[in-house]
């Protein structure tokens, strides 16, 4: 995904908005920009998922943060 000259890379799929927000906050604390994208699930018995995207250049650092969470 491209936007404003940044090549975005998916780093994690969260199963809830709360988890996505928790991870976004942890990543942003390390001065990495983060974008969340809601992935709608047709079966409403399951919550929507949230894709967490970071700039491709920050992928490894973001993964380290997620692993430590």
* Better pLDDT: 55 or 47: 55
**Helices 59-68 and 17-28: angle between axes, nearest 10 degrees:** 120
pLDDT in tens, 9-45: 999 999 999 999 999 999 999 999 999 999 887 776 6
3-state secondary structure of 18: helix
Tokens of 2: 């491209």
What's the pLDDT band for 48 if we cut at 50, 70, 90?
confident
Residue 56 in contact with residue 9, Cβ under 8 Å? yes
pLDDT surpassing 70 at residue 3: no
């Amino acid at each position: 995904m491209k936007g404003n000259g940044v090549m975005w890379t998916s780093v994690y799929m969260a199963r809830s908005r709360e988890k996505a927000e928790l991870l976004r906050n942890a990543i942003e604390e390390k001065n990495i920009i983060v974008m969340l994208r809601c992935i709608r699930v047709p079966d409403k018995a399951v919550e929507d998922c949230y894709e967490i995207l970071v700039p491709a250049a920050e992928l490894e650092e973001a993964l380290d943060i997620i692993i430590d969470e």
